[in-house]
Amino acid sequence: MTLSGKRILLIIGGGIAAYKSLDLIRRLRERGASVRCVMTAAATEFVTPLSAGALTADRVFTDLFDREEEHDVGHIRLAREADLILVAPATADLMAKLANGLANDLASAVLLASRVPVLMAPAMNPAMWSHPATRRNLATLMKDGINFIGPDRGEMAESGEAGEGRMAEPPAIAAAAEAMLDGGHKPLAGRRIVMTSGPTHEPIDPVRYIANRSSGKQGHAIAAALARLGAEVTLVSGPVSIPDPAGVKTVKVETAREMLAAVEDALPADCAIMVAAVADWRVDGEHDHKIKKTPGQAAPSLAMVENPDILAAVGHHAKRPELVIGFAAETRDVVDNARAKLKKKGADLIVANDVSHDSGVGDRGVMGGDRNLVRIVSPKGVDEWPELTKQEVAGRLAALVAERLATIVV
Ligand code: C5P
């Protein structure tokens, strides 16, 4: 009963996937949650409030302007009397409304009035999902802290069209709800994990530096996911513009050398996950003063020197953690390169992602985008994950770390 005592408000949007939400209610209740339902007017065209009410064993709420409903419970109370609001299916319309703060029906008013975590399970036609308007709304909602599960790739129920847009399956949605509500499950309690995330900045002179496109989104999401599972996480982060993850000790650094020193300071640890896009080279002999442009003189040339490899240093360290995980952003020969890296860097697992511009993930590829397509490469083989949000990759990786560490006796 992992959701025992948890109150979930399920908002059912108007899409064919609404029929799956009836199964979702059953699965949430099986795990001990109490479920209350709000249905949009469109949702009632697909499933009846009677069915939803029979499954929740509660009243179903449909109308913002129903005097009786507003008098008895009211949209503000509906929003507040929940530990989690789950929107399934989250239609393009519901996403657009919340992204823009519209509140012209009960479902959107409840979402706008809520102060509790929100999980959306989008479902729509692939063309609607990939439309720039929906992508914009998705980015806004993610920035606002809304969590997402799915959509999956597959055949659409209504048109038979294939593509991304099918609602995640009820068991996966229930598992995501569990992860968000913790469910008291802390398999990483007592485990120390050191991580790196973001880019490094390598100074040229006091005003200029060499950097890269890493946003820190993936590394920070992993740190947060590990903390939710109870781990004591030290996150050594290069300069990023995203907030520090909740429940994590964040150490801020700029250069690769500072990053290495902070990582070594955090040892011993049970696990190290090196996600940072560390600059391979730094400028040899950083200038103490700003390099001046002198008319008539040739452009300066910069001599470069190799930076320490932090992952390799940890992988071969006297205080090597039991589990060492690296990332490999590649633009070609992804798996072969990852395999070579396992050995060279002394890692147990490499999370390999294709950051080539034609990988079709994110707005500008993986770096800076919100989605990721990864393969987990170990000496035993390759596990290919579907295209997921960075949050989902983080959740899965945290679960994998918990599984691997559970087999290692402290
Ligand atoms: O060799 P490459 O840069 O592709 O390796 C990527 C992996 O190594 C990532 O896990 C990255 O965080 C780590 N790395 C590091 N220090 C470096 C270069 C890469 O920790 N100087």
pLDDT band at 184 (very low <50, low <70, confident <90, very high): low
- Is residue 256 within 6 Å of ligand 1 at its C-beta? yes
Nearest to 95 by CA among 37, 27, 147, 152: 147
Mutate to test the pocket of ligand 1, among 213, 214, 307, 310 (most ligand atoms within 8 A of CB): 310
Q: Which CATH number is 309's domain given? A: 3.40.50.10300
- Is residue 311 within 6 Å of ligand 1 at its C-beta? yes
Statement to judge: residues 84 and 13 lie in one domain: yes
Statement to judge: residues 281 and 375 lie in one domain: yes
Q: Which CATH number is 58's domain given? A: 3.40.50.1950
> For the whole prediction, is pTM greater than 0.85?
no
**What residue numbers bound the domain in which 86 lies?**
7-180
- Is residue 309 within 6 Å of ligand 1 at its C-beta? yes
Provide mean pLDDT across the span 174-180: 87
Q: Does the pLDDT at position 166 exceed 70?
A: yes
Statement to judge: residues 76 and 143 lie in one domain: yes
Residue where a domain stops, chosen among 133, 151, 180: 180
Length of the chain: 410
- Is residue 224 within 6 Å of ligand 1 at its C-beta? no
Statement to judge: residues 204 and 272 lie in one domain: yes
Statement to judge: residues 223 and 322 lie in one domain: yes
Instruction: Name every residue whose Cβ is closer than 8 Å to that of residue 52 and which is 6 or more positions away in sequence.
Output: 12, 21, 22, 25, 37, 39, 60
Provide mean pLDDT across the span 101-118: 95
Whether the CB-CB separation of 280 and 306 falls below 8 Å is answered with: yes
Residue where a domain stops, chosen among 115, 148, 180: 180
Statement to judge: residues 199 and 99 lie in one domain: no
Statement to judge: residues 62 and 129 lie in one domain: yes
Residue where a domain stops, chosen among 145, 180, 215: 180
Statement to judge: residues 158 and 226 lie in one domain: no
What would the pLDDT profile of 38-47 be if each residue is shown by its tens digit? Answer: 999 999 999 9
Statement to judge: residues 221 and 302 lie in one domain: yes
What would the pLDDT profile of 127-136 be if each residue is shown by its tens digit? Answer: 999 999 999 9
How many independent structural domains does the chain possess? 2
User: Is there a domain that residue 187 lies in?
Assistant: no
Start-end of H helices in 146-267? 170-180, 217-228, 256-265
Statement to judge: residues 103 and 50 lie in one domain: yes
Angstrom CA distances, 264 to 137, 200, 279, stand at 41, 17, 18
Nearest to 110 by CA among 73, 138, 142: 73
Instruction: Choose the catalytic residue: 100, 104, 147, 212.
Output: 212
- 100 burial type by CB count under 10 A (0-12 exposed, 13-18 middle, 19+ buried): exposed
Statement to judge: residues 170 and 199 lie in one domain: no
